[in-house]
Structure 1
Amino acid sequence: MIEQPDWLRLQKALTIEAEQGFTDLMGRQYRFSEFLCLTFGKLPASLSSDRDDIPQQSHRDRWQQLAQEFANYPNLDMEARQSLIAQTRRYIYQLQQLEAGGEGERGGERGNNISNPTIKTPQSTIQNPKSPIVSEVSKLLAPGIDQKLSEVAEIGPRRADKLARLGLYTVRDLLFYYPRDHIDYAKQVQISELQAGETVTIVATVKSISCFTSPKNQKLTILEMQLRDNSGRIKFSRFYAGARYASRGWQESVKRLYPVGTMLAACGLVKESKYGKTLDNPELEVLAQPGDAIESLTIGRVVPVYALTEGVVANLVREAVAAAMPATHHLKDPLPSGLRQKYNLMELKDAIANIHFPPDSDSLQASRRRLVFDEFFYLQLGLLQRQQRAKQVQTQAIFAPSGELIEEFYKILPFELTGAQQRVVNDILDDLQKNVPMNRLIQGDVGSGKTVVAVIAIVAAIQSGYQAALMAPTEVLAEQHYRKLVSWFNLLHLPVELLTGSTRVVKRRQIHAQLETGELPVLVGTHALIQDPVNFNRLGLVVIDEQHRFGVEQRAKLQQKGEQPHVLTMTATPIPRTLALTIHGDLDVSQIDELPPGRQAIQTTALMASQRSDAYDLMRREIAQGRQIYVVLPLVEESEKLDLRSAVEEHQKLQDAIFPEFQVGLLHGRMSSADKDRAITKFRDKETQILVSTTVVEVGVDVPNATVMMIEHAERFGLSQLHQLRGRVGRGAAKSYCLLMSSSKSPDAQQRLKVLEQSQDGFFVSEMDMRFRGPGEVLGKRQSGVADFTLASLVEDEEILILARQAAEKVIEIDVNLDRLYLMKQELKLRYERLMGGAILT
């Protein structure tokens, strides 16, 4: 049976295929067409059963017909694919409505009675852009919120078909289809006041007009006009591309629209031309006389700019939104008046009206603030609700916070914990005493000592008779953790094993057997830990390093190896506060914000190609003092498309031509595990002085003797990744250097690299990285967990996010299940599923 979450998945697949250009995308298992064919190959239970409210046979036939049509999808041309997907999306929506029983809106204001004074929000002066106030008559005639667009008189079936290409099927869809930008034509000036770069509206008289075919291009028609007001004159042109505009009949008809002496309103961007100031391809509207109301949806207004697709023009969307605007009267605000008053929020219906057709910039800002608040608020509400429900789960794994084994571990440590490390250890040990499973994230900069903190938690688990698992994303990092644990646990007489994809079959079977009997208390590994044959006897603690590199299902699968084990996740990628609240809002977060004593700042320098010899001189001096060097490149091998140095090519060049007197090693992701281990071991044992590598050394390679990190084509890396790479040096007592080699002269690229020259603080670097590249790219390839907001920006709207978090916390304190806030509960379900695609983040 296809249930509600699968409807969402089906609609999402159709939406993504449309957004990606109808290319029959390849998914993890199936192509788009195969997935749809399989989906429609099975009748949902609602069509298999006998229900009076659904005409069964016609829907069964249509369902099976779609299976055949999507089987033929790869053979269809572009237009036929577009048509099929548009029809399917409409049909799925209709079927959902039928299954829902046509319930529509329920509950009215029920459940929104929080006893606080009613807020007086700024009222919209433009609800329908063609009339300042929605009249009582228009309210009565207003379309319903869930009415189909094809049924709205001003839109109709033909226009509704085009709007469906944008995923817009109902009045609600249209109202919540926010503009991606606005252009302010509301400023009306005289011709003498025009300033280049401004968008303005002028009202003036037509002094001359001509319309003709360009002598240089027979398919281009030019309309030239000269306007005059009491302060001066202006000349501008409008351009029409296409053979149909070249006919004299069409050109004469345009001239008749704007005869000399006509009063005209014109708006556009002011530019400088050889004739002086002009308007760039302006919008025009004829006025009967000066002072007449301007009826246009663009002229004299703050104009909404919508995301469009092929065959859907801007004015179609604007006019459709205008037709839907009276329906804002039916919108019920899910936020209680007391909450709106506390956070100074505009009422929802006014915010929707003003985000589309704001009368001025102040109204636009107030409406945007309310709608951004909503996006953040419902996300935080969902995260906090999940956090509270997680705390209702019980675990049998209750650990003693102290004991002989923990005391012995502290004694064998060759250093004392920093204050920050001890604070985080206390947080963890406090969690481990409770019968609620721990779900804590440790954030810490490169080299801040997260691993030893996690190991104390592992020791606490073993001391209490439980097993622990530590999972890392790469074999290099897993090997690094294994070596550290072995060096400590041998002194405690505790066995520890490593399980990766490279582990031999005999050894693998031995590990499996020891896990099941409980003889093996600690297992370190990669994704191999989540394979079916891995069964723990009594798993009480799961530690996941660089957790953002694992998928949701992978992390969950490891947790399922035990009965509600405690979970400790770690990341050496510092995350800005706003991003952390968004993707880790349901976790308890501890931060190690202090480096161990004795660590020197790494001298970071951005260098151009002309300064390469200086870099080589520094490398020779460091090697002469017994130090070692990393050289990192973005590519493994040469690329025909990209003019970049490759690791293989650079290794050969450095060994043969630049440093023939030294041993130069090579490390990259395409090497076998055995070859990788050999390369790292040789470097660790000082058999090679220089290690040429790709970003596989970003985490996990710990060689305190390395003092120089040279990164080629540094402009091609994100700041956070460069900071991670820089963290591979400076791990010993000697002064270390990071050389950022760049061939780019772009001011933006140079500005980014200067951030690293000026700061060693990973949290500051990640904040700047997010500002330069956006949150999705900071975590890599729009990492799962970054919410896809419509209006909100994690860079620009931090203040609103913090307020939304506070508001969500207060609501959860009062009513965790939102039983008394029915409208809010319904809105949360709708928005949270849409925002996160139904995915669990952490």
Structure 2
Amino acid sequence: MPSALETLVKILKLERDLGCADKAVIGGLRAFAQNWVKDAHAQARKPEHHALVDELAGLLSNYTDLSGTDSRDQAIKYMIGRITGRVAPSSGNLPVPPTPPVTESVAEPVPESIPTPDASPEVIDPPQPRRDPPQGRNPFREKRLERRPRESQPPPEGNKGSKKETERETYPDRGGQRGRPAPSQEPEDAGDDLFSKGGEIRPTDDPYAPFTGSVINIPQTPDPARVFRPPRKARAPRDQSREAAYFRRLDAPITTLKGIGPKIGEKLAALDLHTVRDWLYLFPRRYLDYTRMTPIRRLEPGQLTTVAGTVRNAVIIKGRRGVDVLNVILDDGTGTLTASFFGQPYLISKFPRGEQVVFSGKTGIYQGRITLDNPEWEPIEQEALHTRKMIPVYPLTKGLSAHAMRRLSAKVVGMFADDMPDYLPQSVLDRLEMADLGWSLRQLHFPDSEEARRHARQRIAFDELILLQLGMLRNRRVWQSQPGLALEVQDQWLEGALAALPFQLTGAQRRAIEIIREDLARTLPMNRLLQGDVGAGKTAVAAAALLIAVMSGAQGAIMAPTSILAEQHYRGISRLIQAMTRSLVPEESENPQSGEPLVKVALLTGATPAAERAELLAALREGRIHILIGTHALIQEGVEFERLGLAVIDEQHRFGVEQRGALRGKGTNPHLLVMTATPIPRTLALTVHADLDYTVLDEMPPGRTPIQTRLLTSGEREISYRFIRGHLEKGRQAFIVYPLIESDENKESRAAVSEYERLQKEVFPDRRLGLLHGRMSPSQKDGIMNAFSRGEIDVLISTTVVEVGIDVPNASVILIEGANRFGLAQLHQLRGRVGRGQHPGFCILLPDGEGGTERLEVMEETNDGFVLAQKDLEQRGAGELFGTRQSGEGLKMGEYMNPALVELAQLEARTLYAEDPDLSLPEHDLLRTQIERIFGVTSGGDVS
């Protein structure tokens, strides 16, 4: 570990960076000196070393009394100079604190004992200023905000003792200097005095002698050239035959490449790599940045860096909050640091003593020692180390190593990237100063520098946005080129129907109904997105729209993603329709001959019996069923409407383009209303849903109690279990949601299947538990969800399949494990499963480990889904939010799509669309081809 003098140098530098305000350590430098001087004297070997310690202790004690920044800065420079040997002892020129007035002296009481290490001041991490917890948080929350406890690891049994001071050795490979033994010669007691953060001072180390040599030989190479503007090359004249040949090769199976046979092809298929194009767009998950290699001795807190070294030791300690912490001590010959992995004890087998590894992450400081928390890591690749490059890290599958993936990627990128025809017009690239497509693909796989990668990333993210925008605009144009039915009702009629509802509509609901009514009255088919938070009242708006269609002589349909959601809509829509029609024409609300309601609502799912299904379909064809509600069964063969005028799709992001088109194909260009509770910022919604008009319900019905959310730590899991038990005893129900199905998918996270068994045996043995996950068949899922809805299950253990489709008014608590692995918008959707009845709702968030929880704090502060979605966009990019995209390909760069880039793509897409709607100009030929490849070729029919 760093010596006492090295620690002091780092603290002095931090104090200088903080403006000489005596805030580098809690309590100030005077308090710090009390414990530091003891450690420093213990490490000193010579009389002059002890003299230096005494001199520095006096300077530290007087530092607080110095007035003015200049005086303190001069004192810091002097102390650092004395430690490094660059400055001779002072001859009296140092600033001194002002002399206090002469008063009668009173002796200060002598402390009875030396303060313990636990009482030593704590170093402040400057990038993470301490915040006071908001008012109203529970005591567990406030305890979590305290700084990391000081923990020490007891020495392993049998490893007591250490080398004597006289047993010093010289190592020829380090220039004959005395220093640390090489990793292969590490003494058995190397881990005896490990702290929970940092390493140990061993008697064989002279803390006052400079480090020499290096365990890892890091060559000194010049920094890569700055890339202020991406390079561009002149475009060659178009050669359509060459382009056609290139695209044929691009879409050829990956196994057609030399060196990639059927066996490797099978392994690549597990990564969804089938063609050359697939590989070019399989971007690395992350990079190991060998261009930022920094000797450990030169590290400063808050620094993004990559360090390479040799593992001196690896130990597991039990954190105070019950978290297993793996501490890996890395030595690069200039110093040591501790890399801590929270909740990942299984990694210890990856770090045997002597293993050479590289860590990447942001440095912190704890008790004066440089640390890395949960860094990215990988065994050292010697070639990359000596060439100082950024090394891509790809997703892996069984039988393919990281090195093999890099080698194959270099082959594919080298053969195809540079010759990739650029489909964006030259004018767009010139105007936006964007990089060429081929250069961008190469730089995303094998970047020359971080700046080059940033330019490449921006180009690919922009491409995905503008292609999506152009594709959606094209779909909208084709859809509205065919006339639809005009569905009109009188003002008096509509007002009477709405007044008959058993609740008061919000202003937002009334505005949405009026906008939809105006759309339905036109022959131009409506294509509208209705977006509203959980509980905002979208169902009532849909019911009013369906009734307008029916009373205008047409039929309506609602398609939901799950059977249970379809059944919920059936019950809710039937109740609302019956109330509105009975109020309007009470004497005609039922057919006098059959006793059936005036507006017949029916339900069709995959579970509908064959005989009932046949009767239902016949009534639908004859127009005797006015509103049909169902699942994917609505778009199956044999489902025919007499006159479908309005199609409503709920939770539309669960349906693909083909399914939406199939439902609209059941009528003659019917009006379309799609609904979602997924909050998306307006800017993003106008891109991902550019083919839809946009209406938002931004007002909640009165009387709805906000859900209370608490963020706990993994060590407080038992508290959450006790809270759930309390609600179960009151007759309520609860959800426990996990990010994974099986535990072997990611050992860092708890998983639904294994936790279901544990919870049933150990935590809730006297309760009825149910298990729900995405690998179950539809009938199994429906059975579990229906049992939970009927109250036959007390606690539902589930994955995120409960995000949509569960409405259980009796459920009052949801516990979300691994909460840091979800986006804020998705967490908001999940917590919307509770508090839907008369009982208040409670949401408990339990993150994995201790990292990445800061962004979750906003969940405690707001129940506004749109605020959370905007936070997601700002913090994590559009990756989470673009999960709603329903065109042909997934977005690779969603997390890098910031609001400014989204708006830029919208502007350019609309400019191109206004100039050339069909993209028929020669310079737009490749762009049109790319859009057709993604969205399909239009022929005047339905495309959405």
Q: TM-score, normalised by structure 2?
A: 0.52
Show the counterpart of 2:735.
631
User: Which aligned pairs between 1:433-832 and structure 2 lie closer than 5 A?
Assistant: 433-491=521-579, 492=581, 493=589, 494-575=599-680, 580=685, 583-607=688-712, 611=716, 614-615=719-720, 618=723, 628-632=732-736, 657=766, 679=787, 682-683=790-791, 690=794, 692=796, 694=798, 698-704=803-809, 706-711=811-816, 720-732=825-837, 735-740=840-845, 742=846, 745-748=848-851, 750-751=853-854, 754-766=857-869, 785=887, 787-789=889-891, 792-820=893-921, 822-830=922-930
Show the counterpart of 2:466.
377
Q: Deviations over 1:209-250 (max 9, x none)?
A: xxxxxxxxxxxxxxxxxxxxxxxx999xxxxxxxxxxxxxxx
Show the counterpart of 1:386.
475
Residue 442 of structure 1: how far off its partner (Å): 1.6
C-alpha distance in 2 between matches for 1:667 and 1:319: 46
Whether 1:432 aligns to 2:508 is no
Q: 1:837 to 1:778 in 2, by over 3 A?
A: farther
C-alpha distance in 2 between matches for 1:194 and 1:649: 44
Q: 1:439 to 1:282 in 2, by over 3 A?
A: same
* Aligned residue among 410, 414, 426 for 2:498: 410
Question: Quick check: 2:479–2:942 contact (8 Å CA) kept in 1?
Answer: no
Residue 482 of structure 1: how far off its partner (Å): 1.3
Show the counterpart of 2:432.
343
C-alpha distance in 2 between matches for 1:689 and 1:159: 53
- Unpaired segments of 5 or more residues in structure 1? 1-120, 128-133, 152-157, 201-232, 236-267, 273-278, 286-297, 659-663
Question: Quick check: 2:530–2:676 contact (8 Å CA) kept in 1?
Answer: yes
Q: 1:176 to 1:702 in 2, by over 3 A?
A: closer
Aligned AA (2:578):
N
> Secondary structure of 1:601's match?
coil
Aligned AA (1:819):
S
Residue 607 of structure 1: how far off its partner (Å): 4.4
> Secondary structure of 1:707's match?
strand
C-alpha distance in 2 between matches for 1:763 and 1:365: 28
C-alpha distance in 1 between matches for 2:897 and 2:256: 36
Residue 829 of structure 1: how far off its partner (Å): 1.0
Question: Quick check: 1:518–1:538 contact (8 Å CA) kept in 2?
Answer: yes
C-alpha distance in 1 between matches for 2:569 and 2:285: 46
> Secondary structure of 1:515's match?
helix
Show the counterpart of 1:833.
933
> Secondary structure of 1:563's match?
coil
Question: Quick check: 1:377–1:805 contact (8 Å CA) kept in 2?
Answer: yes
Q: 1:144 to 1:656 in 2, by over 3 A?
A: closer
Q: 1:837 to 1:655 in 2, by over 3 A?
A: farther
Show the counterpart of 2:258.
161
User: Which aligned pairs between 1:23-172 and structure 2 lie closer than 5 A?
Assistant: 161-162=258-259
Aligned AA (1:378):
L
Show the counterpart of 2:508.
420
Question: Quick check: 2:230–2:455 contact (8 Å CA) kept in 1?
Answer: no
C-alpha distance in 1 between matches for 2:868 and 2:687: 19
Q: 1:407 to 1:168 in 2, by over 3 A?
A: closer
C-alpha distance in 2 between matches for 1:193 and 1:607: 36
> Secondary structure of 1:819's match?
coil
Q: Deviations over 1:295-352 (max 9, x none)?
A: xxx9588888999988978689769977989979xx7774243x44543445668868
C-alpha distance in 2 between matches for 1:747 and 1:711: 15
C-alpha distance in 1 between matches for 2:388 and 2:611: 78
Q: 1:748 to 1:765 in 2, by over 3 A?
A: farther
C-alpha distance in 2 between matches for 1:364 and 1:176: 14
Question: Quick check: 1:501–1:528 contact (8 Å CA) kept in 2?
Answer: yes
Q: Deviations over 1:699-718 (max 9, x none)?
A: 44445454333456767766
> Secondary structure of 1:708's match?
strand
Q: 1:559 to 1:159 in 2, by over 3 A?
A: closer
Residue 593 of structure 1: how far off its partner (Å): 2.4
Q: Deviations over 1:108-153 (max 9, x none)?
A: xxxxxxxxxxxxx9887798xxxxxx9x9x99xxx9777879x9xx
Q: TM-score, normalised by structure 1?
A: 0.58
Question: Quick check: 2:531–2:675 contact (8 Å CA) kept in 1?
Answer: yes
> Secondary structure of 1:657's match?
coil
C-alpha distance in 2 between matches for 1:335 and 1:470: 42
Residue 176 of structure 1: how far off its partner (Å): 9.2
Q: 1:194 to 1:564 in 2, by over 3 A?
A: closer
Aligned AA (2:528):
R
Question: Quick check: 1:515–1:535 contact (8 Å CA) kept in 2?
Answer: yes
Question: Quick check: 1:607–1:739 contact (8 Å CA) kept in 2?
Answer: yes
Q: 1:431 to 1:186 in 2, by over 3 A?
A: same
Question: Quick check: 2:532–2:698 contact (8 Å CA) kept in 1?
Answer: yes
Question: Quick check: 1:333–1:349 contact (8 Å CA) kept in 2?
Answer: no
C-alpha distance in 2 between matches for 1:578 and 1:570: 18
Aligned AA (2:576):
W
Residue 720 of structure 1: how far off its partner (Å): 4.5
> Secondary structure of 2:909's match?
helix
Residue 614 of structure 1: how far off its partner (Å): 4.9
> Secondary structure of 1:161's match?
coil
Show the counterpart of 1:220.
none
Q: Deviations over 1:627-665 (max 9, x none)?
A: 73323455999999968566688578888637xxxxx68
Aligned CA RMSD, in angstroms, stands at: 5.7
- The count of aligned residue pairs is 604
Q: 1:478 to 1:365 in 2, by over 3 A?
A: closer
Question: Quick check: 1:703–1:728 contact (8 Å CA) kept in 2?
Answer: yes
Residue 377 of structure 1: how far off its partner (Å): 2.1
C-alpha distance in 1 between matches for 2:757 and 2:299: 59
Residue 449 of structure 1: how far off its partner (Å): 0.9
C-alpha distance in 2 between matches for 1:725 and 1:355: 34
Q: 1:654 to 1:408 in 2, by over 3 A?
A: farther
> Secondary structure of 2:620's match?
helix
Residue 789 of structure 1: how far off its partner (Å): 4.6
